[in-house]
Each structure stands twice: as structure tokens, then as C-alpha cells.
Amino acid sequence: MEIATRRSSRRPGTVSAAAVARAAGVSTAAVSYVMNGKGGVAPETRRHILAVAEEIGFRPPNRGKPVDPNRTRVIGLVQPNIINPTYPRFAQSIVSAAAEAGYEVFVATTQDDLRTLGKVSSSLVHRNVDGVVLSAAFREDATALRTLRAARIPYVYLSRRSQYLEGDFVGIDDAAAATSLMEHVLAHGHTDIAVVIGPRFSSASLAREQAFVSTARAHGVDIGGDRKISTELNSDGGRRAAARLFARDDPPRAIVCGSDEQAIGILEYAVEHGIRVPEDVAVTGHDGIPHSMSGLIGLTTVMQPHEEMGREAFGMLLKRMEKPSNSYQSLVCAHRLHIGRTCGCEPTRAAEKSRR
């Protein structure tokens, strides 16, 4: 009783970090990491330190908010894969932004498999993450997301989303981007065009395909079923699509892709089979991966601001973790059309347009 009286009369801030370390049975460094929002401490240890600090009345210097023993300072990042360079670029910006705010990031991939997404969601709940950035949502399914919502774990959609469960979203205007890309291809006079996109259960892939097709139709060009291919969002998917398209007696004269990696796979297939780009077939991508726009490849593509999108997604998640709300917001980031050589533009003209 006497000890309890002394603790309750102690002014906040007079308890040292060393006292917390002794009471928690950990190093002073571990306490410092936790109180300064840094990584390197296991979630269970972090919770233990915060609970002990709260119990004995420790308050970090210059902080007005009490420590929250329920926070793990860990978020989840769920991506379709890490083969397509778009996703590691998202991840890097999110990891950097999270580190600045004192959060660690647990990264998981689904390989665009619905059952795997469900398992990942359950795992994130069991790990007691504080929130999730999700770029692997299935457009017509929200079962895994309901697992997160039931556990009161906030999430933010990045690039694609489910149409059946509301949530904050960060992405680009996929329809507008795809429209501008198709209009550029049509301006070259192409009328025999094929489109290669990612899985249609991705809201982003479907929006791009629909805009490609509707824009071409508005200009009197019909893109039929055998000219629309949905495949994996990587170079292997592009190679398989190219094999199908060029096995025909009437291969297309232009291929508009929903990702840079798919376009690169088509370019690889073309080189191996003596198909000239853009003389025999024009090829365009979508994503704006730096190496695809290099002088070596010169891909015409849509540029997404990957770093901005990742940082904005984490910022949106951070706000929701700190102040839960029943309303949701969407942030549409600006895209840009990069003109390379693969569409048929002259190098000098391409360089001029890319600088605009």
C-alpha cells in the first residue's frame, strides 16, 4: 500500500526510462526504441514495455499523449507479388514513410489467389497489426476484408479496390490514363489493335481494359474478344500473350498493355522471333517503371507516381489509425503519358513530348 501511494503521488515524467527497463526486464535501449517509435522490437515486447510504462507512470519527454499498450506500431502491406517492379516501388515508399512515423511494416504477397488473401488477412489479425495497406484487393469479393473489419483493423486500398466494401483509396484515374494511351496509339493510324491486361478481378486492370476498348470503339476501331487477353502482371504473362497473338495468321499491328512488365514480355518475344518494334508491331505499357522508359527499352507508357501513392496511402492509414471515422476518402494522383519509341514515335519527338 505504501508503495502504491508513492507511485500515485509521483508527477508524470519523473519516472526514468531505466526504471521502466528494470521493471519490464528489458534493456534501456529497447525502452528507448519503443518510446521513440522506432523499429527493432518484437510486437509482444513492445506491448509489454508500453504496459509497464503506463503502470509506473512513465511519460516520454515532449509527448502529450499517453502510451497505448494496444498499439503494436506494426502495419501490414499486402501485395499481389514482388516480381512486378511496381509493387516493390510501392513497398519502399510505404516502408520509408512508416519508419518516419515509428512503424514497422509486415509485407505479405497473395499471388492474386483469393484463398491466400484470406489466410494473409487472418494472419494479420493474429499478429495484431495496427492497420493495413492493401494493393491486392479482389474487385468482386470482400470476405478477407471483412476479417480485418471485424477485428477493427483499418485498411487503405492502394491502386485497386473491392466494389463491395467501402474503404479509403489511393490511386490514379485508370480510365483516363488508359484513354490517353489508346488515343495516342490511334493517332498513329492503327486499326488492328490488341489489348493485354492483368486479371479482371483487379479493379485497375478492368478499368484499363474497358477504357482501351471503348476509346477505340469511339474512333471506329473494334477490339474483338480474341484481341483481348487477360494474363499475369509480369513479363511471363506478356510472353504468353504474345505467343497467342503472333500464332495467328493475322497478328495485330499494335498491342496496348495494362502494365510495363507485360509489355516487356511482349518485346522479349518479339526480339526472339524476329518481329520488329515498332515497324511490325507497336507496343505500349502502363505503370512507368524507370527501366522500361530507359534509352535501352524506350517504352511508351503511362507513368504512375509510385512514391507519392505509397506515401499518401500510409498517411491516410495513419490518420485512420489515430482517429477512426465512418466516412471514407479517395485520393486520385496525377498520371502522365511518357512517349518512347515503341509506339512508332521518332526519338526526338518522343523526348520532346516526355519533357512536357
Render pLDDT for 175-234 as a digit per residue (tens, 0 to 9): 999 999 999 999 999 999 999 999 999 999 999 999 999 999 999 999 988 999 999 999
Q: Of the candidates 352, 323, 195, 172, which has an alpha carbon nearest to the alpha carbon of residue 259?
A: 195
Distance of CA 206 to the CA centre of its chain: 17
Within 13 Å of residue 316, how many CA atoms lie on the same side as its CB?
25
Q: Where are the beta strands (DSSP E) in the chain?
A: 74-79, 104-109, 131-134, 155-158, 168-172, 193-197, 228-230, 254-257, 282-284, 301-303, 330-333, 336-338
Q: Residue range 120-129: average pLDDT? A: 94
The answer to whether the beta carbons of residues 339 and 354 sit under 8 Å apart is: yes
The pLDDT of residue 350 is 47
Residue with cell 491502386: 159
Say if residue 278 is preceded by a cis peptide, omega within 30 of 0.
Answer: yes
Using 50, 70 and 90 to split pLDDT, how confident is the model at 349?
Answer: low
Other beta carbons within 10 Å of 63:
12
The pLDDT of residue 229 is 98
Other beta carbons within 10 Å of 157:
26
Q: Residue range 298-315: average pLDDT? A: 97
User: Nearest 5°: phi and psi at 337?
Assistant: -90, 120
The pLDDT of residue 60 is 61
d(CA 112, CA 157): 15
Among the ranges given (25-29, 279-283, 335-339), the one the predictor scored with the smallest mean pLDDT: 25-29
The more confidently predicted of residues 216 and 349 is 216
The answer to whether the beta carbons of residues 91 and 82 sit under 8 Å apart is: yes
Query: What is the average pLDDT score of the chain?
Result: 89
The pLDDT of residue 57 is 76
pLDDT above 90 for 31: no
Q: Residue range 88-103: average pLDDT? A: 93
The pLDDT of residue 328 is 95
pLDDT above 90 for 8: no
268 burial via Cβ count (<10 Å: 0-12, 13-18, 19+): middle
Q: Which residues contact 189 (CB under 8 A, 6 or more apart)?
A: none
pLDDT above 80 for 70: no
Q: Residue range 239-254: average pLDDT? A: 96
- pTM for this prediction: 0.79
The pLDDT of residue 27 is 87
Q: Running DSSP on this structure, what letter comes out for residue 60?
A: -
Other beta carbons within 10 Å of 62:
6
The pLDDT of residue 334 is 97
Q: Residue range 15-31: average pLDDT? A: 84
The pLDDT of residue 7 is 36
Q: Where are the beta strands (DSSP E) in 74-185?
A: 74-79, 104-109, 131-134, 155-158, 168-172
The more confidently predicted of residues 32 and 78 is 78
Q: Residue range 136-149: average pLDDT? A: 92
The more confidently predicted of residues 27 and 203 is 203
